[in-house]
Structure 1
Amino acid sequence: MNNNNTTLPTKPHYQTLDGLRGIAAIIVLCFHLTEPLAATRLENVINHGYLAVDFFFLLSGYVIGYAYDDRWDKLTVGAFLRRRFERLQPLVVLGMTLGAIGFYYTDSPIWPLIHTVPLWKLLVVMLIGWTLLPVPLSMDIRGWFEMHPLNSVGWSLFFEYIANILYALGLRKLSNRALAVFVALAGAVLLHFAVTNPNGDVTGGWTLNAEHMRVGITRTIFPYFAGLLLSRVARPVRISNAFLWCSFLVAAVLLMPRIGGTDRLWLNGLYEAFCIIIVFPAIVYLGAGGVARSPAEAKICKFLGDLSYPLYMTHYVLVYFYVAWVSRHKGITLSEAFPAALLTFSGAIVLAYISLKFYDEPTSAWLRKKLK
């Protein structure tokens, strides 16, 4: 088998799923803008915005199954991983680079380490970040105990790569029945974690230690491979107004206020497990059957889908500046911070679009030619 496998034709996109990915990415941005204004994790206005990551994992598994499951007679593991590299890595590099450029300008009371970091160390962390390998805590140059201190969201891409590798190296070979058993066990692990976690939620996965590695794997394995299973066994049915209804469901799940309070933290964990295990697969199933009702809706879905990954991978570069500003204005309210939040939101959308058109698309096209 030769390297021409990388020229496999692209299958048609699920328009509605593309649009939903964009909706979720925008809500993630809004979540990160409201997060520093909340006194505790229970008070964020967009309380469950972080569940968008779990939704992304499920979407990824579904799309990977749809795009590749029937092509392994013409595809090698190396060719598959090259295609994922071409798709994911350019924006990983850009996000880490932009994070490094802005690093020293985000010095603030919550990040006292920044002004003490020598340039050589910043450059080393950036170069490691380009590979998406996690940096140890000894290389934590920001003070948030993150494996990617120049672009916080890099942790989820790290686990996405792990899921892709597991799929390519063997789990793709599981029969539907064996995959169903695997997914059921992963779902049970996720449910147990969600309801027993002392935080009362599924957050975590961004620190290079045993606790967060467990969280990251738990959050990735079920949704990714549930999405794969769904792509195999569920034939989409045509749903009227699918994009509208599915967008509403995604927003409702992610905007839901905290459940249970401090007295019954397990209730919130149960809600989040229910969303990941039941609601998200249902949304993807309904979305997969959706067809744009008009050329305008098709363009909206395509725009949102194209923008989603650049937005996710570059928005935190600007959020760092916003968080630093909020930290210098302790006690600031949401209404008082709204102009700065709106400016950051608008800037993130513009940055994502510029990144898409002037960097991601041409770089990915260049890589496809070079890695044939």
Structure 2
Amino acid sequence: MKKQLNSLQLYRGIASILVVLHHANIILDRELKQDGLFNVFHFGWMGVDFFFVLSGFIIFYIHQADLSQSSQFKSFVRKRCLRVYPFYWILLAVKILGSLAIERDGSFDGVNLWQFIQVVLLVPQAGTNLTPFIGVAWTLTYEIFFYAIFSLLILCKPQIYLLPLAVWIVGIVLNLVNVLPIGGSVLLEFIFNTHNLEFVFGCLAAYIVSTHRYEYKKMWIYLALAMLVGAIINTGYRQFDVAGLSPVIAYGIPCTILIVGSVQVENQTVLKLPSSIIYLGNASYSIYLTHGLFMNTIAKVYLKISEKFAPALLDSQIVMPLVATAIVGMSIALGCIIHDRVEKPLLKILNNKPATAV
């Protein structure tokens, strides 16, 4: 059995917080007409790239022995589905009921039954307004797709899957350099989306640390951190590339190198982290899915209270950073509470054993 890697828990926590801070820029600007965080964390969307690489690493690292072992297919699919869907469905139901009962803002206008089914099943789609749903769920569609690909690798023999797998990866690379003739096909764009390459990077990282040992392991970490700093510096406000470079390259590759270096180091030494850091990594899924809902709600409540009792606070350049920090902190804390009170008990019931987040 693979040992738990504390460095990965650290990175899962960091990735979730980065996404929270990125969305804080957007949500607070929309609801309160001020950012409050001075757009410092506009690059926080790179947490999604980090998550994808981490996911590829974790799945391959844990399940590489299951490849071509068809007897493990059912177990893998069941475990992955239980990990993603039930908790997501609960939050989705809460979000939809909240939108219908409280906001009544016409958010569901134009959303038909088939689009709703696609949202529930995390099927890729185009043109659906995600406002009444969970906005970050678009990333889960890629997770589910990656799990489906990996499950096929478990079910089939190498002589069956190696060629299609190679064609798929080559197709993604060709799409990355804008030479794949996809046209306007939503399905092809999803299948060969460059984000899928980050899962491949994660699998490659897991293969490297499982089969090779390198000297100067910490140099991998220093190199990755230097590359990430360079990418952050060159990421413009509200831009989703890095000086014209795809985030898959600018962030995906450094994150891959960082994971390889960190795991190589941790395989040789015991990495002791505070229990709070490990906990934050375990709670990352709950934080990731709930922070938008909590942040929107808290910001709206603050806006109504301030407008009624202290309207001057809404224009204060001194108060707003404090308010923004408090809203972010409360959103993260509430996400942790949901992890303890909903996600963990749910996993325990579904698996009929103590819940573990992987």
Q: Same fold (TM over 0.5)?
A: yes
| Structure 2 match to 1:320 | 296
With normalisation by structure 1, the TM-score equals 0.69
Distance 2:142 2:345 in 1: 26
| Structure 2 match to 1:78 | 74
> In the TM superposition, what is the alpha-carbon distance from 1:332 to its structure 2 partner?
6.2
Which AA in structure 2 matches 1:258?
T
1:52 has 2:47 as partner: yes
**Deviations 1:156-196 (Å, cap 9, x if unpaired)?**
11221011101211488558986677545523422449xxx
Answer whether contact 2:228 2:254 (CA < 8 A) is retained.
Answer: no
> In the TM superposition, what is the alpha-carbon distance from 1:15 to its structure 2 partner?
1.2
| Structure 1 match to 2:8 | 17
Distance 1:162 1:340 in 2: 38
Say if 1:352 and 1:325 are closer, same or farther in 2 by CA, change over 3 A: closer
With normalisation by structure 2, the TM-score equals 0.71
Which AA in structure 1 matches 2:122?
L
Map 1:202-351 onto structure 2 (within 5 A).
210=185, 214=189, 217-234=192-209, 235=212, 237=214, 252=229, 255-256=232-233, 258-259=235-236, 268-270=243-245, 272-291=247-266, 297=273, 299-321=275-297, 337-351=320-334
1:163 has 2:159 as partner: no
| Structure 1 match to 2:95 | 99
> In the TM superposition, what is the alpha-carbon distance from 1:86 to its structure 2 partner?
2.0
Distance 2:206 2:85 in 1: 25
- Which of 187, 190, 194 matches 2:176? 190
**Deviations 1:69-119 (Å, cap 9, x if unpaired)?**
102437432221101012222331232133234425874xxxxxx434689
| Structure 1 match to 2:105 | 115
Say if 1:248 and 1:22 are closer, same or farther in 2 by CA, change over 3 A: farther
Answer whether contact 1:249 1:283 (CA < 8 A) is retained.
Answer: no
Map 1:111-190 onto structure 2 (within 5 A).
114-116=104-106, 129-133=119-123, 145-146=129-130, 149-170=132-153, 174=158, 183=169, 185-190=171-176
Say if 1:363 and 1:189 are closer, same or farther in 2 by CA, change over 3 A: same
Distance 2:81 2:167 in 1: 29
- What RMSD in Å do the two structures reach over aligned CA positions? 4.6
Distance 1:321 1:216 in 2: 35
**Deviations 1:115-172 (Å, cap 9, x if unpaired)?**
34689x99998887554346775xx5xxxx22x7321111111221011101211488
Say if 1:369 and 1:346 are closer, same or farther in 2 by CA, change over 3 A: same
| Structure 2 match to 1:5 | none
Distance 1:353 1:223 in 2: 27
What SS does structure 1 have at the residue aligned with 2:66?
coil
Say if 1:254 and 1:44 are closer, same or farther in 2 by CA, change over 3 A: farther
Which AA in structure 1 matches 2:342?
Y
> In the TM superposition, what is the alpha-carbon distance from 1:247 to its structure 2 partner?
9.8
Gaps of 5+ in 1: 1-9, 108-113, 194-208
Which AA in structure 2 matches 1:57?
F
